Amino acid sequence: MPEAFTPRMIMRAEGQTYHQASLLSKQYSGGYWEFFTLNNGGFYLAPTCAERFDVSVDSNGYECNVSADAFGVIVTLFVYGALAWIDDETLREKYSNHYHQLRAFAIEHAEREEILNAID
């Protein structure tokens, strides 16, 4: 995680991840998350469980049911989107880049339609 979030931002990003997960899915009640490094230099987190998650996005009214992996991609995209507004130009650029790297990965994901509709 330090590569993706910087040492001083790890706790903030982790807290935002769990909070965002609970906002997006009433089913989410905590658990272990795995950290993934992408070939394009990006990163994301996903729950390690095998269950699927019902996702409801208040900001656009979209609802879907996705795998834990797709749920992690959605949650991480929301977290990067929030961090891209941080009051630090260097970190703003870093999180904006991570957002676009993860979105590029999402376009190739088996559940791309659900992921892209959720973040639209």
- pTM here? 0.91
pLDDT given for residue 103 in this prediction: 98
pLDDT for res 61:
94
Q: Where are the beta strands (DSSP E) in 31-70?
A: 33-37, 43-47, 53-57, 62-66
Per-residue pLDDT of the chain (120 residues), as tens digits, is 556 666 666 667 788 899 999 999 999 998 999 999 999 999 999 999 989 999 999 999 999 999 999 999 999 999 999 888 778 888 888 889 999 999 999 999 999 999 999 999
Domains and CATH numbers, the chain: 2-119 (3.30.70.3580)
Contacts (Cβ under 8 Å, ≥6 apart) of 53: 24, 25, 27, 28, 47, 65, 66, 67, 68, 71
